Each structure stands twice: as structure tokens, then as C-alpha cells.
Structure 1
Amino acid sequence: MLIRLAHYQILMFLLLSVGSVKAAPKLKIYQAISPDTKTRIAISVSDQKTLMYRMWQADEPVLNWSALGFELNGVHVGQNAVIKKQSPHSHKEQFAWPLGENDIILNNYNELILDCQSGTTAFQVIARVFDGSVAFRYVLLNQKGLETGLIRQEHTTFAPTGNYTIYQYNEESVFTPTALTDLQKTCDFPATLTNGRFFLSIGEADNQRYTKAVLTKGTEPNSLAVAFHKDSVKTTADFQTPWRTISVATSPIGLHQFSDLPLRLCTPMAQSIPSWIKPGKLIRSSLTTQGGLNCIDFAAKHDLQYIMFDAGWYGAEFRTTSDPTQVITAIDMPKVIQYGQEKGIGVILYVNRVALRARLDEILPLYKKWGVAGLKFGFVDGLTQEGITWLAGAVKKVYDYGFVLDIHDNYKPTGLSRTFPNLLTQEGIRGNENNPDAFHNTVLPFTRFLAGAADYTFCYPNANRYFTDNLYKTKLQVSKGQQLALSVVYFSPLQAIFWYGNPTDYSDEGEIEFFKRVPTVWNETHYLAGEIGKYISVARRKGKTWYIGTVAGLTDWSGSLPLQFLVAGKQYQATIYEDDATGSIQKRVIDIKQADALPVSVKAKGGQAIIIEEKN
């Protein structure tokens, strides 16, 4: 719905929109406002005939005038621009999402479609305004001479008002807080920025046939520009780019409400999620028959739903001579899969890109015949248009054959799980196998997790010793209590809990009891407290049971957690799992109620996990 302002509002809008009062009458403004009327996008053509936009939150500018457009076949689309027609729309819906952080996702927005002309090129800018967020994309209209084309660069920019710090990272790297004026490296989507008052997340949604784009320092002061990571983009008639999104909150934890925005911007393929798509936890097995059988027994005992055979089960993963239809002699795959089926445990198989690209159509029906439950894609190409386009098609094929899916390495989510809900999780994150520190762990909830689920691959130490596996010889930089708590804080419908664990070594059941109970999908979620890189506390409900994960960064954190999410008048019992003085886990039980403020004190690099249940 396009909001028509009163004359006074229009005047004030123009005064805020341009650098001088004299320039204001020259601009014709096209705008859309969020359902709660607090978030606003304005699109206009400058005196230099350049297409541009601006964003407000609660009548305060969040972005200064920023550029729109792209280079198509050597022509700067967005210059010499004319807006020929506007079409406003209003959209209101809610949809069930049993594979997420909340049962129901609200998808309410006002949309503005602008038919534009830039030279001889006709295109559209589609803008959607949600409460707290704006999203826009470009659409090439079907026209003679543009049946195919080449976008060499995108001219979209983001110009925050004032001095901002960005948490710079790329794919699986660490985070480096950097002033925009000092930014030298590129930064991945989603990018988190703050000036101390506002917290911004600049993201991407619905990338199924584009290239990987990144953010780089813009030419204007304190600005960011979209740049291509690897290649150009080939277009066809009616081609549309991914959504560019900007979300704004007044607190770090306020950003979490936008973590489902990529899902809202993607189209579902079906009205409901098939029953065969089952979330769960997994343990990775050694590459032997007995290892698989032991993992199945462990999974059945500890309420895990899957085991995984990772790289190597069909030979050296990067060799073209390795055959993904043939199992190494050390594994009796039919025996392991059958035993898993008897125990209600699914087997997930890893396949490297080399084998995927050569033999995907062959292995899918074969693995279905074997009784495989899911696949893990490894070392995919999430950096180029060709790789991303192939990957989207592969996800659909895996969906059609009825497998759950986990994508690893550089691929990051853009909401594709809404279209293909079998895509339960993906990596695109510096996970636990890389042994990140507590600063990294307490930045992730405010950055990468705003794009969607991430497979962190928890490397929880064996109860009676640290690992001596050749893959992992370094003692973790965080406590065991932090690992327990992160299984609540970090969202992933498919959660790898024991990545380097040998199931026969876990002799202390009390240490891993929490992992047995924690779910991976939720009915309700609340971010209770948090500061980027310092601490985070998250409460999630499954059924009538609540789980709270609290994690400290590199310094101690003490505070109190509100419990308003509990039901008034009921009595609850909280079971608290936390670090003890010996490097293990201790458990204590307290009584609580909704009116209480739950005190919490966590040492640096530590964590606390809580289960809250009604008292009978």
C-alpha cells in the first residue's frame, strides 16, 4: 500500500530527504511505509538523473541517499533514469514454520513496484517495507534485444547516517570490528553495523541464480557498495536479482527479529512441509562398520536422530577416481543402515563437489534404494553464478528424492529453505572444528545467524579425556558449559553435536545429559540479553519446556534474566547446567516463577544452560 501523506508531511519529508531546502521541490518522491508506519523507503531520481533511495526508522534517517542500479551490457542502468509508473500493494499473511525458531512467521509488508526506464532498458525496482526492514530487487522486463545479457557489476550502495562500525568477515573467517572509514577488506552478507544507537543488518535473500556479492567500501564517506566476488552475471528475459535488505534495531538483541526475513522473501514450493523432513541431532562416525554401529547405539540412547559418515567413506573425496556408488571395504553400509532403521536412526552420507557434479543424478536413486536418510554436500561452489545456479537445482533434486540436506563450506543461506525445506542447515560459518574463541562465539548470534541456520559442528570433548584424534589436538578455547549453552543459542534444525567424539569414550552421562534433552527446532524464541562480542542469553520453548543458553565472551558477565515468557501463577523448576571448578559440568535445581528475575553469573569463556519445567 502506498501511503499518501498530508501536505505538511510531504513538506517535512522533502526537507529531510535532500541536502538543502532549495533542492527539495526538484525531487519527485515515491515511497512505501511499513504496516506499523515506522519504517519508510523513498525512491527518487536525482537532478543528475540517477536512481536513488533512502530509508527512515521512526522519522529518523537511517540511510542517506544511496545509489540504485547495475551495469548491463556495458550500460549503467540507473543513470538517465525515468520512473514511468508506480504500483502499490499490501500483503498480509502468516505461515506455519515447524522447522524454525517460532511456530508462526508473520509476513506483513507494503510493496511498491516502480516501472523504470534507463536509456533503452526497461526494468522494475520492487521494494517491500516490513516493520523494521526494507528490501528491494531489480527485475529485467522482457524486451527485444535483452533476451540475454551480462551484468558486470551492481551499483547498489548503502550510506548510513554518521560514523558506523562494521563487523567485517568473509565466509568462515573471524570477525574484525572496523570503522567504515577504515574498511579495506570486503565483508559478506549479512553484515552488521552499529553507531552505538542503531544496529543495522544488511543482508541478501533469494539468491538462486546470481553470483556471490559482497560489501566493499563505497566512494562516498561512510558508505558501502555491492561488489561481485568472482564473476559477472548472465541474464535472461524477466531476470530478477536477489533481494537486498536493510534491517534496523535499537539494541543488538533486537536484530534477531529479522532472522526469518530471508524466509519471508522466498516463495514456498508447497503449502505444507512433508512429514519425511525430520530435524534432529547427529554424531559423526568413524569410517568403520563398528564405528557406525556404535554411533547408532549412542544416538538411540541419547536421543539423537542421525549418524553421519563424512569424507572418505567412498575414497579420497577430491579424486575423480573415487566412486560415490562404492563403499570402502571398512564399512558394511547395508548392515549399518539396516541397524539404524531398526533403532530409528537415519544415516547421512557426505558427498564432495567432485562426485556431486559428475554423478548426482546417478547417486540419488541409488541412495534412496540403500535407505539413506540424508546428504551432506561438501566443498560446493557458493561463489559464482554457475555454482549457485547448479546448487539450487541440486537442492530441488535432493528434495524430489526425499532426502534431508546439509550444505557445507562457503555456501551461506538466503532463505532457500522456505522453497525447499529439506535444506535443514548449512555451514558458511567458522565452526567449532576451527576452535574459535569466545569473542567469535558471541558475535555470531548478531551476524551470521541473522541469515539463517548454521551447522556449527560442536566438538564437545570426550568426558574422560581431550581428543587425540589427528584431526583435533588443540584444547578448546571455551568451556564445556559454553558448548552446552551454545546448543540453545545457535539455531540449526540439523545440529551436529559430537563432531570428533568417539561414543565409547563418553563415560560421564551427567556431562552430556543436556545434549540428550535439547531440541533443534522450537515453538517460541526470545533473545533476553546480549551485547555483540560480550555476552548473549537466549530462551527457547519446545512444548511446555523452556531452555535458556547464556554465554560469556572474553570477560565475565553477571546480570539478571527476565522471565516474563513464563505463565503467571505457575511454579517452575529450573535445572541449571554450568561449569564447575574442575573443568567439568555441575548441575543444580532451583524453584522460579514468572515474576522472578533470574540471576546469572558466567565466567569469561564460560556458559550456562538451563531447562525450565512446570512443577506438578
Structure 2
Amino acid sequence: MKKYIIVYVLMLLSISLFSQEYKAISPDGKLGVSVLVKDGKPVYTVNYNGILMLDDSPLGLITNVGDFSQEMELMASDYGKIDKKYTQDRIKKSTVIYQANELTVALSNKKGQKIEIIFRVSNNDIAFRYQLPQYGNSKSCVVEKEVTGFNFPNKTTTFLTPQATPMIGWERTKPSYEEEYIPDEPMGTSSKYGQGYTFPSLFHIGSDGWVLVSETGVSSSYCASHLSEGTSDGLYSIRFPDLGENNGIGSAAPAFSLPNFTPWRTITVSDDLKQIVETTISFDVVEPLYEPLQEYKYGRSTWSWIMWQDESMNYDDQVTYIDLAAEMGYEYILMDAMWDTQVGYDRMPSLIKYAQSKGVDVFLWYNSNGYWNDAPQGPKNKMNNTIIRKKEMKWLQSLGVKGLKIDFFGGDKQESMKLYEDILSDANDYGLMIVFHGTTLPRGWERMYPNFVGSEAVLASENLIFQQHANDMEAYNACLHPFIRNAVGSMEFGPVLLNKRHNRNNDGGNIRRTSDVFQLATAVLYQNPVQMFAIAPNNLTDVPAFEIEFMKEVPTTWDETVFIDGYPGKYCILARRHASKWYVVGVNAEHEPLNIEVKLPMLAGKLITRYGDNKDFVPFKDNISIKKNGKIQLTIQAKGGIILTN
């Protein structure tokens, strides 16, 4: 505590009115942000352990009520402390202590109009947002441009995924946030579509460390954003949605009433990858927007569509997968697209009742609909209209349906954010959980919306069915997600494909390149509170019994997450705890076995169960003892996995 106070006092003393620079420093004194005005333009810099991680980076908004990006003057500052503890049952840890120093900087433009920028600096995270008062009689504001940028040192390389051009791809459904990543790419490289890059965005500052950039707190009062194309000298800026999103309907510029504030921009900074993987900043700076109607139950689900595809959406096949869920002890079955026509509204009550008689509850798939793409699957025209949506949800509630998976959204404009929020709010009124698919990144939504249980926003398991390339790249992609996509929000991937061939009979279709234990490990590696697992009925007899027993026991919610070792796209070793049980999982995307010594203090001195692959890719299960110092030598086969549990 003494060190904390000394650092905070030094931070205050470091302010110089004459230099017109204000600083905020993290509680541990390692991370600092400085705000100043240069040539009338507000900028900020970020330092970690005395090393520059972001050089002069622009700040400001251009709005219809005033320009707050140039001819600005620093007016005043205010300091405060954030010290809060909260619980959250749907993220990577259940109890979070968030401590940060807060700096509020007031600036004024040439017209005397003021704007405030609020910075919160915790030990490895910076979050900042703009706050606008009412200007005279102007009670509303359109943000025409946000000039916020992130200016990286020249030695930086990037791990980015491109924002897709709107209205391209299958049935004009892009952007669906399912593009591929390029590792360690030079800054300024043109993106695939020329539309910039999707959040979250990971930057490698050479030997100095890592920076993860994203946003959180996006609700119906703003649009979602992404990064622009980068300049050759390392500047990436906030970019609003493309005008062509939502089939060209609606404004790309957000609008809100005054006074108000923008969403938070987040920057996670560390000299290693541990804090990148373990960050909770997406949830630390937001609060719940409404109370849950009830306590929502999370868990595991079977899902016929992933392996048996469209033809399986019939009464008898759904009964088969209900029986599979019951055999596995799973809480749910997901009934996917076209249940409305291939089972029919008239027969759904009896099918749902059968599931409930087996102790299995139901998630149902819906098309988001509207005017934004041509996706033909039904049910259609139910979720995009408030009156129809509430009528449908009332019917679903009467049947005891527990959740919906809603697919094919149209973009990141503010009206899309409003649709997400309206669906979530209405669903809560009827006791329904919501999964979004073909969708944007969740931005703090696990905390903001109590019935939100995950979004896809990733090149997910369905692509393993669609194309061999996705299977060839599966291990590589799995070794990216804990560092990037899953670091900032729940990721509804649909993991654990135990069929060696991706078709109904396990005898055709695309070929799985990864091992069985790799697949089991993804049940833990990928964090989502409701997991739609891709196991099939034949797996009850065609894989070793210990694999099925593992899948019967694996949880979907976590009390603690600890990064052990890894590098994006190469390998990842991660530990998660549920109650008193630890799961340590590792996956290897390299072409050779990974031999590595790691330290696992959570398993030190214990007899534990190990799942692994031998050199012939045959899965095994055994028991081993961990040394009292927690050290253990691991071997993870190429495209293979390992699991250790107590």
C-alpha cells in the first residue's frame, strides 16, 4: 500500500501546467499514459516499464456540434481512484478485483466548447472514452469522425484479421467476422479487402512486449468500430462501419443525446503474453444494463447440424441427438436452422416435451432477418420486428425453451447495435438466453446483458465441415484465439469434433488433421458459458471410452484462468479452474513435437490424470505425479494436445 501511495503522489507531482501535459500511472507504477496537445491537436503516449509502447497517438472527435480534434487547448484535469470487486459467471474468472487510477482531462476548442477524456489505468490495461456535455440548445450529437489512433513503434509486427467488404460472400452475409489472421505481419500491409481490421487487434512490439487493442461498452447508443488500414510508420485509427453495411441502410455515423459518452477504447500492455490472455478489461469498465429475469443456467449441448447438416433437422434425428445429450448428461440440445419447416411449428411442442422428459432443455436457431442479406434459412421474419419478436418469445417461453441462437447479422452500424440490444432485452423478459452467430465481436456484453451467453465472431467449427483448408489450418487458428479473439469475450466456436471424417457416417468429407486429445483440449481452451459440442452419436462407440467420460465431465464456466506458455499461432498451454478442479490444456500447431518444461503451481505435489497422444497419434490416459516445485516436462505432438486434471 505504501508503494501505491508513493507512486500516486509522484504521478501528481509529475504534472506540469507549463508543459500542458497530464499523466496517469498504474497502481504498480509500470504502465503510464501521458496526454498533451501538440500544434493544437490532442495526443497521448503509452509507456510500460519505461519503454515507449505507443508514440504520439491522436485523440478527438469531429461532430456536427463542434470539432474536437484540432485547435484544442488543455483546460484542467482531475484525478481519482477506481477500486471495485465484482463477480461474473460467464467470463474467464468468476471474481475480479479492478484497481485503476483515473485521469479526466478537460479540453476546449476554438469556440470554447469543452470535451472531457476519461482515462483509467490499471496494472496492464488502459481504457478511455470521450464525454460530451450539452452545448447550448444542442441536445443531440452526430459523431462524424473519431480521430482516435494507435501509433506503434517501427519495430512492431501485427496479428490482425481483415474487416470484410459488406454484402459479399455467401448470400451477401459478410461481414460475418470469420476472416483469417496473418501472423507477425509488417505494419502498413494492406488488408485483404482494404477495409481495415477487426477488433481485437494484437501487436508485437519486438522484444519489448505486446499490445492488444479493442473496445468495450458498445450499446444501442453508438456504433461498433474497427481499425483503419495502417500507415507504414505504424498509425492505426478508429474507423466507423462502411456505408454499405446493412445493405446500405442507415447511417455509419453514431448519434446520441447530450450529455453522453462514447464507448471505451481499451489497450492491454505487457512485456509478455500472460496479461494479454488473462485480461478482464472488457468487463472491468462496464456495468449491467438491466437485471436478469431469473438465474440463467449454463452448460453443454449436443448439436446435430454441425456433423449431420441440414438434412438432420427432422423429428427423428433430433430425437437421436436428444438421446445423445441425455446419455452425456448435457443440459441442452441446439436445434438448428429449418426446424420451422422440416419439423414444423405444430410438432415442435411434442419434440421439446420429449427433450424435457429426458432432462434436456432446448436452444432454437433463428435467422436475424431484415433487409441486410439473402440468407434463406428459417425461421425468418421473427427477430427483426419488436411486435413479432415478443409474440414469438412468449410462445417459446410457454414451451419452456431456454435459449436462442440468432444468425446472419448485417454489420456494425448503430442500428445493428440497437437490434442486438433489443433482442437481448426482450429475450430477458421471457427468460431466454441468447447466442449470436454470423455476428460482430461482443464488447463487454457478458457483463452488460445478463442473458447474453456468447457470440461466434470467429472462423468457427462449421468451416471444418465446409472446406479442407480450415482443417489444415485448425491447429494454427486454435493457437491464436486465446491471445486475440477469446481474450476479450466469449467465443461460441462449437468445438470437439471427434469424427476423423466430417460427415454423418465418419467415412467421407473433409479430413481432420488434429488429434483426439487436441479436440478434447479445445473444450477447455475455448471459453464460452454454453458450449455447443460437435460430438456425434457414433462417438459413443468409435472413440476410447475415456474420451467420452472426459466430455461428460468437462465444465463450461470457470473461476480462474492462468496462462502458462505459448506463442500466437504456434502453441498454447492454458490452465482453467472450475471450483476446486484444474484443467491444464495444451495444443501444438507446429510440424514437430513440442518438448517443454512448464511450472504448474496449482498442481504441485499432486497425483493427476494426463491425457495425451503418443508418437503414432494414438490417444492415451494415465496418472502421473507432479513434483513439489510444480515443474513438469510436457510433450505435445504436432497438431496434438495434452490435458492434465487433478
- TM-score between the two structures when normalised by the length of structure 1: 0.88
Is the alpha carbon distance of 1:166 and 1:392 closer, same or farther for their aligned partners in structure 2, counting shifts above 3 Å?
A: same
State the partner residue of 2:295. 276
CA shift, 1:486, in A, is: 1.5
Task: Could you tell me which runs of 5 or more consecutive residues in structure 2 were left unpaired when the two chains were aligned.
Answer: 163-176, 243-251, 305-311, 370-380, 465-469
State the partner residue of 1:557. 594
- Cα separation, 2, equivalents of 1:503 and 1:101: 32
CA shift, 1:156, in A, is: 0.5
* 1:226-305 matches, cutoff 5 A: 226-230=238-242, 231-258=252-279, 260-269=280-289, 276-285=295-304, 286-305=312-331
SS of the equivalent of 1:380 reads coil
**Conservation of the 8 A alpha-carbon contact between 1:83 and 1:115:** yes
- Cα separation, 2, equivalents of 1:330 and 1:71: 50
CA shift, 1:395, in A, is: 1.1
Q: What letter corresponds to residue 301 of structure 2 in structure 1?
A: L
- Cα separation, 2, equivalents of 1:402 and 1:382: 27
Matched, 1:537 2:573: yes
Q: Over aligned residue pairs, what C-alpha RMSD do you find? A: 2.7
State the partner residue of 2:203. 193
CA shift, 1:440, in A, is: 1.5
CA shift, 1:201, in A, is: 0.3
Give 2:233's match in structure 1, choosing from 206, 221, 234: 221
**Conservation of the 8 A alpha-carbon contact between 1:287 and 1:331:** no
SS of the equivalent of 2:549 reads helix
Matched, 1:482 2:492: no
Give 1:418's match in structure 2, choosing from 442, 447, 466: 447
* 1:51-200 matches, cutoff 5 A: 51-73=42-64, 75-120=66-111, 121-170=113-162, 171-177=177-183, 178-184=185-191, 185=194, 186-196=196-206, 197-200=208-211
SS of the equivalent of 1:344 reads coil
**Conservation of the 8 A alpha-carbon contact between 1:382 and 1:412:** no
CA shift, 1:103, in A, is: 2.6
Q: What letter corresponds to residue 204 of structure 2 in structure 1?
A: T
Is the alpha carbon distance of 1:67 and 1:329 closer, same or farther for their aligned partners in structure 2, counting shifts above 3 Å?
A: closer
CA shift, 1:580, in A, is: 4.7
State the partner residue of 2:173. none
- Cα separation, 2, equivalents of 1:360 and 1:240: 30
State the partner residue of 1:592. 626
Instruction: Map Cα deviations across residues 550-582 of structure 1 (whole Å, 9 max, x no partner).
Output: 00013331112212123x6xx533222223566
CA shift, 1:224, in A, is: 1.2
CA shift, 1:31, in A, is: 1.9
Instruction: Map Cα deviations across residues 163-210 of structure 1 (whole Å, 9 max, x no partner).
Output: 211112032111113211334441111100002321110110101132
Matched, 1:608 2:642: yes
- Cα separation, 2, equivalents of 1:521 and 1:87: 39
State the partner residue of 1:572. 606
Task: Could you tell me which runs of 5 or more consecutive residues in structure 1 were left unpaired when the two chains were aligned.
Answer: 15-24, 316-326
Instruction: Map Cα deviations across residues 515-536 of structure 1 (whole Å, 9 max, x no partner).
Output: 2111111122211111111110
**Conservation of the 8 A alpha-carbon contact between 1:563 and 1:594:** no
Q: What letter corresponds to residue 206 of structure 1 in structure 2?
A: G
CA shift, 1:218, in A, is: 4.7
- Cα separation, 2, equivalents of 1:114 and 1:38: 21
CA shift, 1:127, in A, is: 1.0
State the partner residue of 1:324. none
SS of the equivalent of 2:598 reads strand
CA shift, 1:469, in A, is: 7.6
* 1:351-500 matches, cutoff 5 A: 351-354=366-369, 355=381, 356-358=383-385, 359-435=388-464, 436=470, 437=473, 438-458=475-495, 460-462=497-499, 466-468=502-504, 473-498=509-534
Q: What letter corresponds to residue 99 of structure 1 in structure 2?
A: R
CA shift, 1:444, in A, is: 1.3
- Cα separation, 2, equivalents of 1:174 and 1:64: 28
- Cα separation, 2, equivalents of 1:308 and 1:248: 38
State the partner residue of 2:343. 328
- Cα separation, 2, equivalents of 1:456 and 1:336: 26
Give 2:334's match in structure 1, choosing from 295, 308, 314: 308
Q: What letter corresponds to residue 273 of structure 2 in structure 1?
A: P
- Cα separation, 1, equivalents of 2:481 and 2:458: 9
Give 1:44's match in structure 2, choosing from 36, 39, 60: 36
Identify the range of structure 1 (163-172 vs 283-292) with the bigger mean alpha-carbon deviation: 283-292
**Conservation of the 8 A alpha-carbon contact between 1:288 and 1:331:** no
State the partner residue of 1:518. 554
Q: What letter corresponds to residue 403 of structure 2 in structure 1?
A: G
**Conservation of the 8 A alpha-carbon contact between 1:253 and 1:531:** no
Q: What letter corresponds to residue 210 of structure 2 in structure 1?
A: F
**Conservation of the 8 A alpha-carbon contact between 2:156 and 2:205:** yes
**Conservation of the 8 A alpha-carbon contact between 1:253 and 1:530:** no
- Cα separation, 1, equivalents of 2:588 and 2:68: 48
- Cα separation, 2, equivalents of 1:393 and 1:558: 50
CA shift, 1:410, in A, is: 2.6
Instruction: Map Cα deviations across residues 471-493 of structure 1 (whole Å, 9 max, x no partner).
Output: 99211232222111111111111
Q: What letter corresponds to residue 622 of structure 2 in structure 1?
A: R
SS of the equivalent of 2:203 reads strand
Identify the range of structure 1 (216-225 vs 533-542) with the bigger mean alpha-carbon deviation: 216-225
SS of the equivalent of 1:119 reads coil
Q: What letter corresponds to residue 519 of structure 2 in structure 1?
A: Q
- Cα separation, 2, equivalents of 1:305 and 1:331: 24
- Cα separation, 2, equivalents of 1:167 and 1:145: 45
Is the alpha carbon distance of 1:471 and 1:106 closer, same or farther for their aligned partners in structure 2, counting shifts above 3 Å?
A: farther
- Cα separation, 2, equivalents of 1:430 and 1:607: 20
CA shift, 1:349, in A, is: 0.6
**Conservation of the 8 A alpha-carbon contact between 1:298 and 1:503:** no
**Conservation of the 8 A alpha-carbon contact between 1:462 and 1:502:** no
Q: What letter corresponds to residue 473 of structure 1 in structure 2?
A: G
Q: What letter corresponds to residue 440 of structure 2 in structure 1?
A: Y
Is the alpha carbon distance of 1:342 and 1:266 closer, same or farther for their aligned partners in structure 2, counting shifts above 3 Å?
A: same
**Conservation of the 8 A alpha-carbon contact between 1:381 and 1:388:** no
